Amino acid sequence: MTGDSSPALAVDVEGLVRAFGARKALDGVSLRLPAGAFLSIFGPNGAGKTTLLRVLTTLTNPSKGSVKVAGLDVVADAVELREKIGLISHNPLLYPDLSAEENLLFFSEMYGVEEPATRVRELLAAVELDHRRFDLVRTFSRGMLQRLSIARALLHRPEVLFLDEPYSGLDPHAADILDSLVAQVREQHTFVMVSHDLAKGLELCTHALILAKGRVVFFEPRENVDETAFAALYRSTVGLGVA
Amino acid sequence: MPDAAAAARRVSSWRQFKAILRKDIVMELRTKEMLTSMSLYALLTLVVYQIALSQSGSGFDIRLIAAGLVWLAFVFTSMLGLNRSLVHEKDQGCLEALLLSPVDRPVIFFAKSIGNLIFLLIVEIITVPIFAVAFMSGRPIAGPFWMIVLSGLVGSIGIAGVGTFLATMAVNARGGSFILSVLFIPLMYPALLAAVAGTSAAVLGGPGYVDMFWRSVGMGAGIDAIMLLAVYGLYEFIVSA
Amino acid sequence: MELRVDKKRLTFAAVIAGAVLTTVGFVLAFLVAPPVLADTTLASGGGAMIGGELIANPVLFSQKIFYFHVPVAITSFIIFFFTALYGLRFLMTKDKAFDTKARIATEVTLVFVVLTMITGDLWTRFEWGKWWVWEPRLTTYFIMMMLVIVYFVLRASIEDEERRAVYAAAFGILAFLDAPLSFLITRLVPSGNHPVVFKVGGGLDAIQVTTSVVALLGMLCLGYAIYQMRFREERAKERIEALKASLED
């Protein structure tokens, strides 16, 4: 699986540093993730998880190092790369004063999706929101928002999906729906998920990573992870505090 | 996915521009949040003017300060609207969603600015006739009407462009609307002075007023061009900071 | 290491040169330079008319303050240029040192702008008998002072260090562009109150020019020295912070 040819790598990070002055949010992160994998990133608050995700999604530029996602450089090819990635965050990233359909149509325009109306209907059906498609997003429950936000992230058929604490604030039922949606699209995508939930993260992933103080403490394929030892290591980093 | 298909899919900036603008207009027409609050605020400003001028007597020629009063009302109402327009984007992290899409950052700037310009112009169209009826009866303006329109447009373009830029900064600052006003007023000083001078020339008339009008409007347009070019260049930095 | 020693010496030299030059400037201004008469075409009787005011004292002793006021004003603007320049460099490199430099340049600008305002206002008070007149240069400097103060208000209102630096850089650049625009536009509105003591192409003799130039050089040296000293202090603070952070590891 760990082929050397770059197209097979969904994420290829080499010596990534993200610093401002003396403070380093990321301090020499390197990781190679094959296409089709599911990476779970764990780490205490302030370990640099969010910063790493922001760099991978082109929202923040790296200070040093090379970062490629889906074979594209996050700085030089940022615009093309944005067409190939989607983000599902704990923040819905939807306009409350637009209806579900209007939101998706708007983002279809932003991504230049072909035949937007068909695509939007298809996705609304997939996330079981077609009966609410004319309703304002403002009236949606947390679970419905999260489903719609998944539809938004999938609109442009991204290759790599990023999930930023997608389970936070979801009730068990909504979490189940999210699980089944992720399972549905699991095949065609590479996933990178940031999570606090150790059990959930390990259940889904093919690769696990622990970040502490901006450095990679642990990065192994799932089959090499011993759950008890992993949990102990994770807990030991929590005490380390902020980078 | 084949590379050719990916390349062909590259969205035109024009399409994205229209999408953002349409979205802002649809949202505004639905909630009418900005337009009602801005218009109401403009009307209240007129009430304050009435109080301020209540002891000035009948001999006082309001035309001397009319342009200044009108622009003052626009400045304060525009700040209200500008702040709202960016708070919308910030609320649910929508700005982040925009930044995640394959859009050139200046497209976001232009779309938001044009949207704000449209809302500002609507409020101006509501406010000016009311001001004229309430304060200017019996004192007609000297210059042709298109002069008022032109100077209004030049000033409003500057307010909308620079204002959108500053509002983008202010939504990320503590005390957003306060920060917006303290950044906005000194920075807009030259543009506002030009706008008031231009409108005032048109209202007052007098010898050489056409010359004065073109000088002011020309300066105003020049200031707009310089400031807009600068904020256009800087927008990418602040929106991704 | 050698470079730093050089800078230290340069700063020290600048302090001395600034002190000497400004002192020489004052001495020249008060003891040597002959007074500039107000526009003689406006003179009526024993006084002079400036801005519609009759000035009883034809020698206008208070104009001596201009040998202080003008150099300070020019210096403040030159230092403000560095706010914009370092802001631009910061945006291009994202190197925190440039942010620190831009901030300190703005601090020094504030000192000089406030001095400009005070000296200008003293003159206004004695020559025009008013504390404040909205005329082009005073207005421009007032706006510039507001912009510089607002620069710090903006900085104080942003939590994230990097965002603060980016916003401050952007605002610094805009503010620097704004100052000459303010000046241009205030000239457009008829006013004509400001005394053109230093007319271009005549009116000043060699000794008056020398006095102004000496005072200007002195002020520039002082500005540079204050900037360097503040910068070194800030860098030392930042190094201590960095050391603290690395000790926590």
Highest mean pLDDT among A239-243, B187-191, C19-23: B187-191
**Contact flag C245-A23 (C-beta cutoff 8 Å):** yes
User: pLDDT: is A24 or B122 the higher one?
Assistant: B122
Average the pLDDT over A77-88 and give the result.
91
The pLDDT assigned to C107 comes to: 95
Min Cα distance A215 → chain C (Å) is: 12
Confidence grade of residue B163 (pLDDT, cut at 50, 70, 90):
very high
DSSP states along C71-106: HHHHHHHHHHHHHHHHHHHHHHH--HHHHHHHHHHH
B164 is in which domain, residue-wise?
Answer: 2-239
Band (pLDDT 50/70/90 cuts) for residue C216 is confident
Check residues B24 and C55 and name the one with the higher pLDDT: B24
Chain C residue with CA closest to A63: the answer is C94
Q: Work out the end-to-end distance of chain A between its first and last CA atoms, rounded to an integer number of angstroms.
A: 33
Residue C207: alpha-carbon gap to chain centroid: 23
- Amino acid C132: pLDDT: 79
Q: What pLDDT score was predicted for residue A120?
A: 94
Q: Which two tokens stand for residue A160?
A: 């790599």
* ipTM field: 0.90
Report whether pLDDT(C105) > 50.
yes
- Which residue on chain A is closest to B27 by alpha carbon? A97
Name the residue facing C154 among B179, B190, B234 (closest C-beta): B179
- Residue C48 reports pLDDT greater than 50: no
- Beta carbons of B173 and C158 less than 8 Å apart: yes
In this predicted model, what pLDDT tens digit does every residue of B131-157 receive, in sequence order? 998 888 777 888 888 999 999 999 999
User: Where does residue A207 fall: left (phi above 0), alpha (psi -120 to 50 degrees), or beta otherwise?
Assistant: beta
C-alpha to C-alpha distance for C166 and B239, rounded to whole angstroms: 10
What number of C-beta contacts closer than 8 Å exist between A and B? 88
Find the angle CA(A112)-CA(A113)-CA(A114) to the nearest 5 degrees.
110
Confidence bin at C47 (pLDDT 50/70/90): very low
* HSE-up of residue A107 (Cα within 13 Å, Cβ side): 34
- 3-state class of A22 per DSSP? coil
Contact A95 B94 (CB under 8 A): yes
Cβ–Cβ < 8 Å for C60, C48: yes
Long-range contacts of C157-161 (CB under 8 A, 24+ apart): C157/B173, C157/B174, C157/B175, C157/B179, C158/B172, C158/B173, C158/B174, C159/B174, C160/B172, C161/A20, C161/A21, C161/A23
pLDDT at C150: 96
pLDDT at B4 > cutoff 60: no
Q: How many other C-beta atoms lie within 10 A of the C-beta of residue B170?
A: 28
Measured in angstroms, the CA of B228 and the nearest CA of chain C are apart by: 10
Report the neighbours of B using a cutoff of 3 or more CB pairs below 8 angstroms.
Answer: A, C
The answer to whether the Cα torsion of C143, C147, C150, C154 is positive or negative is: positive
Give the strand pairing for A38-42 and A23-34.
unpaired
Chain mean pLDDT for chain A: 86
CB of B91 within 8 Å of any CB in chain A?
yes
The alpha-carbon gap from C109 to the nearest alpha carbon of chain A, in Å, equals 24
Domains and their CATH numbers in chain A = 7-84+158-168+190-243 (3.40.50.300), 91-157 (no CATH)
Write the DSSP string, A160-196: EEEEESTTTT--HHHHHHHHHHHHHHTTT-EEEEE-S
Q: Residue A216 in 3-state DSSP?
A: strand
Helix (H), strand (E) at residue A37: none
Residue from the list C150, C166, C175 with its beta carbon closest to the beta carbon of B237? C166
Residue C59 pLDDT > 70: no
Distance from CA of C178 to the nearest CA of B (A): 6
Mean pLDDT of chain C: 79
Chain B interface disruption, residue of C185, C186, C191, most B CBs within 10 A = C185
Cβ–Cβ below 8 Å for C165 and A20: yes
C249 touches chain A (CB under 8 A): yes
Chain B residues whose C-beta sits inside 8 Å of any chain C C-beta: 162, 169, 172-175, 179, 182-183, 185-187, 189-190, 193-194, 197, 215-216, 219, 223, 226-227, 230-231, 234, 237-238, 241
**% pLDDT > 70, chain A:** 95
Q: pLDDT per residue over C82-94, tens digit each?
A: 999 999 999 999 9
Position A240 scores a pLDDT of 56
pLDDT tens per residue, range A168-206? 777 787 788 788 888 888 888 899 999 888 888 888 889
Q: Which of B9, B10, B101 sits opposite A107 (nearest CB)?
A: B101
Q: Compute the residue count for chain B.
A: 241
Give the whole-number percent of chain C exceeding pLDDT 90: 30
The fraction of chain A above a pLDDT of 90, given in percent, is: 42
For chain C, percent of residues with pLDDT exceeding 70:
77
Q: Judge: B27–A95 Cβ closer than 8 Å, yes or no.
A: yes
Is residue C133 scored above 80 in pLDDT? Answer: no
* Average pLDDT for B39-55: 91
**pLDDT of the residue at C189:** 63
**Which of residues C38 and A12 earns the better pLDDT score?**
A12
pLDDT of C111 higher than 70:
yes
- Which of B152, B157, B75, B153 has the alpha carbon at shortest distance from B116? B157
Query: C65 vs chain A: nearest CA distance in angstroms?
Result: 43
pLDDT classification of A24: cutoffs 50, 70, 90? confident
- DSSP assignment of C213-242, as one string? HHHHHHHHHHHHHHHHHHHHHHHHHHHHHH
Is the Cβ pair A22, C238 closer than 8 Å? Answer: yes
A38 forms bridges with which residues in the sheet? A191
Is-contact A235 A196, C-beta < 8 A? no
Which pLDDT belongs to residue C138? 81
User: Mean pLDDT throughout A14-29?
Assistant: 88
User: What is the pLDDT at residue C13?
Assistant: 84
Q: Per-residue confidence at B22, pLDDT binned at 50, 70, 90?
A: very high
Q: How far is B232 from chain A (nearest CA, A)?
A: 18
> What's the pLDDT score for residue C214?
86
Nearest to A187 by CA among A213, A148, A154: A154
Chain C: residues touching B (Cβ < 8 Å) = 91, 143, 146-147, 150, 153-154, 157-160, 162-163, 166-167, 169-171, 173-175, 177-178, 181-182, 184-186, 188-189
For chain C, the chains sharing at least 3 beta-carbon pairs closer than 8 angstroms are: A, B
Are B20 and B108 in contact by the 8 Å Cβ rule? The answer is yes
Supply the pLDDT for residue B235.
95
CB atoms within 10 A of CB B201: 25
pLDDT at position C249, please?
Answer: 62
Distance (Å, rounded) from C-alpha C59 to C-alpha C50?
Answer: 13
Kindly tell me the sign of the dihedral angle through the C-alpha atoms of C202, C203, C207, C210: negative
How many domains, in total, are found in chain B?
Answer: 1
Q: How far off is chain C from A7, nearest CA to CA, in Å?
A: 31
CA–CA distance, A145 with A143 (Å, rounded to integer): 5
* Two tokens, residue C210: 């020398």
Question: Does A22 sit within 8 Å of C245, measured CB to CB?
Answer: yes
Q: Give the model's pLDDT for residue B160.
A: 95
pLDDT at A161: 92
SS3 C134: coil
Question: Could you tell me which chains touch chain A, where touching means 3 or more CB pairs under 8 A?
Answer: B, C
User: Which residue shows structure tokens 């207009």?
Assistant: B25
Share of chain B residues as helix, strand and coil, in percent rounded to the nearest 5: 85, 0, 15
Torsion of CA C136, C142, C147, C150, to 10 degrees: -160
Q: List the single range of A77-81, B36-40, B159-163, C56-60 with lowest mean pLDDT.
A: C56-60
Query: What confidence score (pLDDT) does residue B224 get?
Result: 95
Q: Is the pLDDT of residue C5 over 80?
A: no
Contact: A91, B26; criterion CB under 8 Å = no
Closest in A79, A91, A114 to B92, CB measured: A91
Q: Do residues B161 and B227 lie in contact, with contact meaning Cβ atoms separated by under 8 Å?
A: yes
Give the residue on B whose Cα is nearest the Cα of C189: B197
